[in-house]
Amino acid sequence: MIQVNQMVKIYGFKKVLNGVSFTAAKGEITCLIGINGAGKSTVLKSIMGLTPYKGEVLIDNALLTPVMYEEITFIPDSLTMPSNMRIADCLSFMADFYRNWNAERAEELLKFFELSSKDRVSSLSKGMAAKLNLLLGLALDCDYILMDEPFSGIDMFSREQITNVFTSELIEDRGVIITTHEINDIEHLIDKVVLLQHGKVEREFYCEEVREQEGKSITDVMREVYKK
């Protein structure tokens, strides 16, 4: 389980995160939701130690240390590979760079996303680039995956392929945190929701419980929180 305790992040004079606490369990998909600028990406980057913050992050009850980053993969919101590389080059770069690279799974994912290893990064459509970006993260053997806005700016068909990841064995037994500001297509795919508002967690709940106990959809709850 990933536990974020009282995370505070200040940019200049602006308190972006003002004591954010939540948990994300292994084997579950936790969705960090917030309108633009709510600090969703900042939470993920802080967990990864990519930006300094106050507060603590626990992984399986132990304080996060640099060694543990092999257990967590961060998939940024866009592909960061040089455009002249072929997909095959990207994969071998990852294999050289990461000890926990799973080449077999990478091959599986190529088929799953219908990508060709001969294609150059520069020739990829936005949707294909997004899929390659996900592939590079998903092919690492690790317990937790953090995905920053995996659906932003992607066409319907790539979107469908990406949502298929969430029901497949590709994430079996892993803990996943994704950020999004738009939940329509994925209401039925996620386990848990953490709603960020004004630098704090406004609500944290299991989707099925809100449906069962309150008769509300996730969008209903979002409307309540963000219209205030």
- Amino acid (1-letter code) at residue 150: P
In the chain the first and final C-alpha atoms are separated, in Å, by: 31
If the CB atoms of residues 188 and 198 are measured against other proteins, the closer one turns out to be 188
Least distance CB 208 / other proteins (angstroms): 5
Query: Between residue 95 and residue 134, which ones bind other proteins under the rule CB under 8 A?
Result: none
If the CB atoms of residues 57 and 165 are measured against other proteins, the closer one turns out to be 165
Interface residue with other proteins, options 190, 194, 195, 222 (CB under 8 A): 190
Q: Give dist(CA 2, CA 18) in Å, integer.
A: 19
- Total number of residues binding other proteins (CB under 8 A)? 25
Give the tokens for residue 21.
Answer: 């606490």
Give the tokens for residue 36.
Answer: 């633009």
Interface residue with other proteins, options 6, 116, 125, 219 (CB under 8 A): 219
By the rule CB under 8 A, 217 interacts with other proteins: yes
If the CB atoms of residues 23 and 217 are measured against other proteins, the closer one turns out to be 217
Query: Between residue 28 and residue 87, which ones bind other proteins under the rule CB under 8 A?
Result: 28-29
* Burial label, 15 (beta-carbon count in 10 A; 0-12, 13-18, 19+): middle
If the CB atoms of residues 116 and 164 are measured against other proteins, the closer one turns out to be 164
If the CB atoms of residues 5 and 168 are measured against other proteins, the closer one turns out to be 168
DSSP state of 185: G
Interface residue with other proteins, options 50, 212, 223, 224 (CB under 8 A): 212
Count Cα atoms within 13 angstroms, Cβ side, for 146: 23
Phi and psi at 207, nearest 5°, equal -60, -45
Q: Do residues 145 and 178 touch, judged by C-beta distance below 8 A?
A: no
- Site of interaction with other proteins (CB under 8 A): 27-29, 163-164, 166-169, 172, 187-191, 207-208, 211-212, 215-220
